[in-house]
Amino acid sequence: MRQLLIILLTATLLFGWGKTGHRIIGKIAEENLTPEAKAKLTQLMGHTDLARIANWADEIKSDPKWSHANDWHYCTILEGQDYEGPETGGRAVQKVQEFCDLVIKESLSEKDKMDVLRFIVHIVGDLHQPLHVGNGTDKGGNDIKVTWFREETNLHSVWDSKMIDHMQYSYTEYAQQIQLTSTPEQEQAMLDPSIIAFITASRSFHSQVYDIGDGKLGYGYIYKNRELMEERLLKAGYHLAAILNDIFK
Ligand SMILES: [Zn+2]
């Protein structure tokens, strides 16, 4: 049992935004769909709760049938370079591009369309977590050992879930809180479905994200990074809405 628990805990370290983060993004996107997109998504899903399907792509990681999908959650931009494709590590960008075409393909079964949609919702979210656009040297911060309020963990995990959980909001409360402060500049993201632009933005925040001093993280790190974290969640929700509104016109 103890061993199982350790395996489970280790596995979560590799996940994208934690459950709450993905639900926040789904919820924000949901609230910014056009009426056309909402109607077409309802036809496909039977309901339009993007928050509810946002974590499926992490849940299937325990199913060996899906092991080929493990590198669909991240991409890599090497230091000082532009994005150069999946050769540098991670196929998230290709998969989102491929799935945006697939999800409306007539020949695809309803079940497969649904799976494809679940991947789009999840991966677009992941790519806004700055450490899901890795630098190619430390597994997206998984190799950077830190403490979080004295608990041993790694930098990736702090960004996936520890900071979000620290705020003690439910996902619906947090989705609402974040949108309250959104600016017209941020709302432009609702009109911008281009993937390369937002992975480049994610990567551009690395110097701030990696500014961890002695690695003992807690209130000080949250104080410096809360705004960025919330901005990434907000933009993820808006970009996801832009992508879905563009597909389901
Ligand atoms: Zn993920």
* Position 249 pLDDT exceeds 80: yes
- For residues 204-230, average pLDDT: 98
* Position 3 pLDDT exceeds 60: no
**What spacing in Å lies between the alpha carbon of 59 and ligand 1's midpoint?**
9
Q: Exposed/middle/buried for 121, CB within 10 Å: 0-12, 13-18, 19+?
A: buried
- Render the burial of 100-118: b for 16+ CB within 10 Å, e for the rest: bebbeeeeeeeeebbbbbb
**What spacing in Å lies between the alpha carbon of 156 and ligand 1's midpoint?**
12
**What spacing in Å lies between the alpha carbon of 63 and ligand 1's midpoint?**
15
Contact residues for 117 (Cβ-Cβ < 8 A; gap 6+): 41, 44, 45, 53, 99, 103
Q: What is the pLDDT of residues 194-211, one digit of tens each?
A: 999 999 999 999 999 999
Q: pLDDT value at position 12?
A: 43
Torsion of Cα atoms, 208 then 211 then 216 then 222, to 10° = -20
* Position 132 pLDDT exceeds 80: yes
- Give the Å distances, CA to CA, from 145 to 54, 114, 148: 28, 37, 10
**What spacing in Å lies between the alpha carbon of 73 and ligand 1's midpoint?**
5
**What spacing in Å lies between the alpha carbon of 142 and ligand 1's midpoint?**
14
Residue whose tokens read 């933005």: 201
**What spacing in Å lies between the alpha carbon of 208 and ligand 1's midpoint?**
22
DSSP tag of 128? T
- Render the burial of 1-36: b for 16+ CB within 10 Å, e for the rest: eeeeeeeeeeeeebbbbbbbbbbbbbbbbbebbeee
**What spacing in Å lies between the alpha carbon of 122 and ligand 1's midpoint?**
6
Q: pLDDT value at position 11?
A: 44
Q: What is the pLDDT of residues 147-169, one digit of tens each?
A: 999 999 999 999 999 999 999 99
Residue 6 or residue 103, greater confidence: 103
C-beta separation of 204 from 231 below 8 A = no
Q: Please give the Cα distance from 77 to 118 (Å, whole number).
A: 25
Average pLDDT over the chain, rounded to whole?
93
Q: pLDDT value at position 14?
A: 54
Q: pLDDT value at position 79?
A: 95
Strand-pair category, 151-154 with 75-76: unpaired
**What spacing in Å lies between the alpha carbon of 32 and ligand 1's midpoint?**
22
* Position 13 pLDDT exceeds 60: no
- For residues 89-113, average pLDDT: 96
Q: What is the pLDDT of residues 36-80, one digit of tens each?
A: 999 999 999 987 799 999 999 999 999 999 999 999 999 999 999
**What spacing in Å lies between the alpha carbon of 60 and ligand 1's midpoint?**
10
Q: Please give the Cα distance from 1 to 161 (Å, whole number).
A: 24
**What spacing in Å lies between the alpha carbon of 95 and ligand 1's midpoint?**
13
C-beta separation of 174 from 164 below 8 A = yes
Q: pLDDT value at position 17?
A: 84
**What spacing in Å lies between the alpha carbon of 125 and ligand 1's midpoint?**
8
* Position 25 pLDDT exceeds 90: yes
Contact residues for 247 (Cβ-Cβ < 8 A; gap 6+): 37, 100, 103, 104
Q: Please give the Cα distance from 77 to 133 (Å, whole number).
A: 6
**What spacing in Å lies between the alpha carbon of 190 and ligand 1's midpoint?**
22
pTM, two decimal places: 0.92
**What spacing in Å lies between the alpha carbon of 6 and ligand 1's midpoint?**
20
- For residues 170-190, average pLDDT: 94
Q: pLDDT value at position 47?
A: 77
Residue 15: band (very low, low, confident or very high) from pLDDT cuts 50, 70, 90: low
Domain ranges of the chain: 2-247
Q: pLDDT value at position 6?
A: 47
Lowest mean pLDDT among 23-37, 116-130, 181-195: 181-195
**What spacing in Å lies between the alpha carbon of 177 and ligand 1's midpoint?**
23
Q: Please give the Cα distance from 124 to 248 (Å, whole number).
A: 16
The CATH number for 2-247, chosen from 3.40.50.620, 1.10.575.10, 1.10.645.10, 3.40.630.30, is: 1.10.575.10
**What spacing in Å lies between the alpha carbon of 75 and ligand 1's midpoint?**
11
**What spacing in Å lies between the alpha carbon of 24 and ligand 1's midpoint?**
14
